[in-house]
Amino acid sequence: MSLPLEAASTESSTVTYLRSLPAIRDRCNRVYELAKAGKLEYFDYHPEKEQEVIDFCCDIIQRDFGTNYQSIPPHSRWRHLDAGKTRIQPLIDSWKGASPKPSDLEIAKRLIDLFLVSVLLDAGAGNEWKYKVDEQTYARSEGLAVASYDMFVQGVFSDDPKDPFRVDAAALERLNTEKVSAALQVSESNPMNGVQGRSELLINVAQALRSQPEYFGTGARPGNMLDFLLKESRQHDGKTAIHVSSLFGVLIEGLATIWPASRSSLNGVALGDVWPCGALAGNPGPNSKAVPENVKFSPGMKKTSRSAAAKGDDLVPFHKLTQWITYSLIEPIEKVLGWEVEGMEDMTGLPEYRNGGLLVDLGVLTLRHSAVSSYFAAGAATPKLPPSHSAIIEWRAMTVIELDRIAEGLRKKLGYPLKLAQVLESATWKGGREIAKRKRPETGGPPIEIESDGTVF
């Protein structure tokens, strides 16, 4: 049975809204307001503990950077790809020294190819997996980054042996679990969470690249999005400028088909990293049905109505992976091409287990263990929940808002206008990892485990 025209229109507007950047803070702020009123289902909020987090993060920043705050790099996959030794700049230098020399646009395309596929492989690998190369051992995000770098320079992602430094659909389609496992050094003694999911994800990426030639060109290559973005750009003070919503929009629309079918959808559209929150279902906000006027719609999206249907009112968008890719692609766009990326204030902190774990480990959020008692394995000190669980949705929503509050606290304490991407890189993500290692030295894992199948979380 088809929807009435009016209902279809309002649902379409809601879909557009939920796939926009401003919707993330808007919906997460509704969860935050419930937290202040003690109305969350799984967490208690302790704002008096925020200063402890700010002080902890400040100590880390000053330990690693002194007062040279302007030198703090942005949160980006570039850092992980350089784990243990510098890799990316020497790779760029080797390309510039080649004959024939590739253009800056081609160099940027190559980096976007690498960074995108590297981030897509970055789902939680688990506490046991390790990657060894050149007598160095890497784990977790750094291990996956270094492994993806090695695969890239070996031409694993390219269909053309004469042009190995690229990612294209034809090569991704030929990957399978056996090949990916071998490249990631997975074995019975070196297990990884969701290795099959990762290989299936890469095949899904190939299909997405082929199905969106407007964004990825006839070569079905991630880096070709730069050609599309150039058309969306404007000239500003002699520089090429793009709005972050254009880049985010290419990713949210161009990669829409990679999301598992089990994820939330509305009006037949897969929403991606968008989840129902039980606390919101029971406490609808007074203005929750209005699509904010400040929403900047991504390419191809049209604002059909300011009225959003009640259906979907309990959904909270995070778009963590899409934002992580966005942050990561911005760096080569700015450094290699010299483009400006506008509208960065719409980007949020990343709601993942390091940033969120910092809040739990330092007491800003306390999980009501009795509410999730069935998710503790025998003898386990931490629960393990599926990503769809409302406790995880509350945790992630609070993380988005708390990262803003921590960032503002750090700016005041340091007297320096740190960008949110700098805070993520120098303080909260690193701080979450360090406090986890102190509290759980055997694993270094988060205070709340999230089930991972290796697909996009």
Give the whole-angstrom CA distance, residue 397 versus residue 27. 8
pLDDT tens string, the chain, 457 residues long: the values are 334 333 445 778 899 999 999 999 999 999 999 999 999 999 999 999 999 999 999 999 999 999 999 999 999 999 999 999 999 999 999 999 999 999 999 999 999 999 999 999 987 788 899 999 999 999 999 999 999 999 999 999 999 999 999 999 999 999 999 999 999 999 999 999 889 988 999 999 999 999 999 999 999 999 999 999 999 999 988 999 999 999 999 999 999 999 877 788 888 888 999 999 999 998 866 544 444 444 444 443 334 333 333 689 999 999 999 999 999 999 999 999 999 999 999 999 999 999 999 999 999 999 999 999 999 998 889 999 999 999 999 999 999 999 999 999 999 999 999 999 999 999 999 999 999 999 999 989 999 999 876 666 5
Distances (CA, A) of 194 to 186, 198, 330: 11, 6, 28
What integer pLDDT is reported at residue 144 of this predicted model? 97
Q: Which conformational region is residue 155 in: left (phi greater than 0), alpha (psi within -120 to 50 degrees), or beta?
A: left
What integer pLDDT is reported at residue 261 of this predicted model? 77
Which 8-state DSSP code applies to residue 85? S
Q: Do 233 and 242 meet the contact criterion of CB atoms below 8 Å apart? A: yes
DSSP 3-state helix, strand, coil percentages of the chain (rounded to 5)?
55, 10, 40
Please report whether residue 305 resides in a domain: no
Q: Provide the token pair at 223.
A: 């880096």
Please report whether residue 127 resides in a domain: yes
Q: The pTM is what? A: 0.91
Q: Provide the token pair at 335.
A: 């450094």
Please report whether residue 419 resides in a domain: no
Please report whether residue 262 resides in a domain: no
Question: Domain containing 108: what range?
Answer: 77-220
What integer pLDDT is reported at residue 297 of this predicted model? 41
Tally of domains within the chain: 1
In this structure, the strands spanning 449-450 and 384-385 are parallel
Please report whether residue 185 resides in a domain: yes
Please report whether residue 175 resides in a domain: yes
Omega before 100 cis (within 30°)? Answer: yes
